Structure 1
């Protein structure tokens, strides 16, 4: 890790309750986000110094943003620079806190009498609050946000942008919820903020996500809560109480590193009937790699060498690594059916169809004898995606990439529609 002493730090651009933002003179478009040792509650009605909090918060937020970026979420985060600071893209912040809830608790119960604590929201409950400390961050409607017509870094916040932030908040919550579940920890609720990148005019996840940003209940048990609510609930702030709060924050900062580690391995083994199918298979391998899945290519023919095909199958069954087989065979596909009839692992047919006989050849992949369960997917990228969905059931990192990919596809369509409408006016 580098040191902030190596940076040419310019003027302070902003200061909040728990961090300071500085310009980087020799790196236009980037800023330094410096955490502080201060902990607050109730819009700083209560505030205390907690020695070491800056390092704990910076470690937590850096791990969280790394997880989100590796999944494919667009964020302002660039890299952790020191124990207490990270570099980020310079953004003009949208003055809204987006709150996403899975479990009813806290202020939601006060605003919605009659709802019992623990009520589970499926789908997630979305709320937004205008950042205004003097008025205790009032809750806003979507209509209020639209009527304010915020303009930041040259981008006016309209319906398209609100929809993108809304959809992104859900995806971000679900990714972190999935990751925390690997530690048997329930992500109860979370608040995040977005900014407009001053260089690209893109809306990106910005600010920080640390232990001030969420509620975390190990084993779904509120009595074991590890988040800032412990500090909010203190009747008296004593040195002993602050040590307890610090231990909870340290617990989170240690566990959050584990969110970057896969819970289980897996691989895709592509069996091709001939090296003439190599280009088709390389597309599968490239797509698997994007999901973080190992992909191995082999050549074998179920027609010309069934004994060798079954030997290769046994080779990958014998080491206990979860495996998805993809059979790439043109003309008469015997490879997929033979594999499916002789292994309990999933088998996907992905035949490289040609224009001349493709309409006839595909039936050898679609029309299976009874007792065979192999699927058929014609697109090599889609075959890799299906394999990723299988592994995503037990590997949260693969699942997170799939979830982010869904979001990014949706956002690209939304932006394309906005651009088309602008051209039509």
Structure 2
């Protein structure tokens, strides 16, 4: 079978691997990357059922790109780089871990067959996570975590041990919960989904392969009868041209809905400083907050010296933002935080600047009049994190960034511990 020589301006090298619905090509001019080319093909039952479906390659390619852009915005490490043509995308070159990671919110499908007695629709809280070894000949048997660890897979110098399995399990659930929150914006219930991981050339585990309408069950309004995913095709005993048109319409609908899954809330974190001398401290808060995806403004005003101006600025933000957090940076007698807190229903965080009288400054922030609810933290990172936790209640991307940061910190500690244990003292 002949293969294209060039796609989207990228000269193709050898065919690395070909699956049922895609081809993966080497890129000689970009040795750390590869190109994934989708096919106009739909399959089920490990390829036993298969049909050509004109236009599916482009639909899947766009669906995958939109999903991965959401996940990247939420801080998930992915192999996906960018679209390069209507049917192809650029990816980091990875060795794939031969495990399908499945997350379930509701019991349905194969889970019911493997777990008789569990009623359909049983809700898993937290989500149920399962693993399956990729082996078409044996219908992808379910594997335990112990089997994965015992297999001692090694990819690009990384041995898949318990630490790596722990990371992939937690990342799998996080990916599901991010997309679950995203689809909830369109009143669609994400029932379950499968993902795969790869190990890039630097030995890092990244979310890889493809996430499209073959990857999940999706029920609008939580109603199974309204399903719009690949299960519609799986359920067909005979497949007509009209049936394929229905499947294609469903997949197109999903692709188009993904354009509306970005958070619609207009948030803002406003850092008020009582003096220009506090600017360095406030810039640190702003940088930490922006690293978490927050939109930040810095303002200078004094609750003692310019009370009316301070309240006027505060009210301007109240009138134009749906999700809002004020951070007050003031030393000596901190009137800024309490004045803001006493005149707004939005949260206020005190973060006094460093000084040789920090103990007194902290006390002036903590000892507020009755009826006020402003919090106090000492460090810029802490102020940014607390603001992100508040905004994250309404913005799933900020919530996802916080969870991804926690996941990365835990992974970093495990790597440091592993390195320490390998040293000889």
| Shorter-chain TM band | over 0.9
Deviation at 1:248, TM superposition (A): 0.6
**Alignment-derived partner of residue 73 in structure 2:** 70
Contact 2:106 2:122 in 1 (8 A): yes
**Alignment-derived partner of residue 129 in structure 2:** 126
Tell me, yes or no, if structure 1 residue 156 matches structure 2 residue 159.
Answer: yes
Deviation at 1:311, TM superposition (A): 2.4
Tell me, yes or no, if structure 1 residue 166 matches structure 2 residue 178.
Answer: no
Contact 2:26 2:35 in 1 (8 A): yes
Tell me, yes or no, if structure 1 residue 369 matches structure 2 residue 372.
Answer: no
Tell me, yes or no, if structure 1 residue 273 matches structure 2 residue 274.
Answer: yes
Deviation at 1:229, TM superposition (A): 0.3
Kindly report which structure 2 residues correspond to 1:9-408, keeping only aligned pairs within 5 A, or say none: 9-197=12-200, 199-259=201-261, 261-354=262-355, 356-408=356-408
Deviation at 1:317, TM superposition (A): 2.6
Listed one character per residue, the Cα deviations across residues 331-361 of structure 1 (whole Å, up to 9, x for unaligned) are 111110111111112111111132x221222
Contact 1:160 1:418 in 2 (8 A): no
Give the count of matched residue pairs. Answer: 420
Contact 2:272 2:329 in 1 (8 A): yes
Q: Distance in 2 between matches of 1:220 and 1:330?
A: 52
Contact 1:153 1:196 in 2 (8 A): yes
Q: Distance in 2 between matches of 1:172 and 1:319?
A: 32
Secondary structure at the residue paired with 1:332? coil
Secondary structure at the residue paired with 1:287? helix
Q: Distance in 1 between matches of 2:284 and 2:53?
A: 52
Q: Distance in 1 between matches of 2:190 and 2:318?
A: 36
Q: Distance in 2 between matches of 1:315 and 1:206?
A: 44
Q: Distance in 2 between matches of 1:94 and 1:76?
A: 13
Task: For structure 1, list consecutive stretches of 5 or more residues without a partner in the other structure.
Answer: none
Deviation at 1:18, TM superposition (A): 0.7
Q: Distance in 2 between matches of 1:233 and 1:13?
A: 32
Q: Distance in 1 between matches of 2:327 and 2:366?
A: 14
Q: Distance in 1 between matches of 2:130 and 2:277?
A: 55
Contact 2:171 2:407 in 1 (8 A): yes
C-alpha RMSD over aligned residues = 1.4
Contact 2:33 2:91 in 1 (8 A): yes
Give the structure-1-normalised TM-score.
Answer: 0.96
Contact 1:192 1:209 in 2 (8 A): yes
**Alignment-derived partner of residue 3 in structure 2:** none
Secondary structure at the residue paired with 1:394? coil
Contact 2:274 2:336 in 1 (8 A): yes
My pick for the range that moved more, 411-420 or 174-183, is: 411-420
Deviation at 1:171, TM superposition (A): 1.1
4+ aligned runs moved over 6 Å, structure 1: none
Q: Distance in 1 between matches of 2:11 and 2:303?
A: 64
Give the structure-2-normalised TM-score.
Answer: 0.96
Deviation at 1:172, TM superposition (A): 1.0
Secondary structure at the residue paired with 2:14? strand
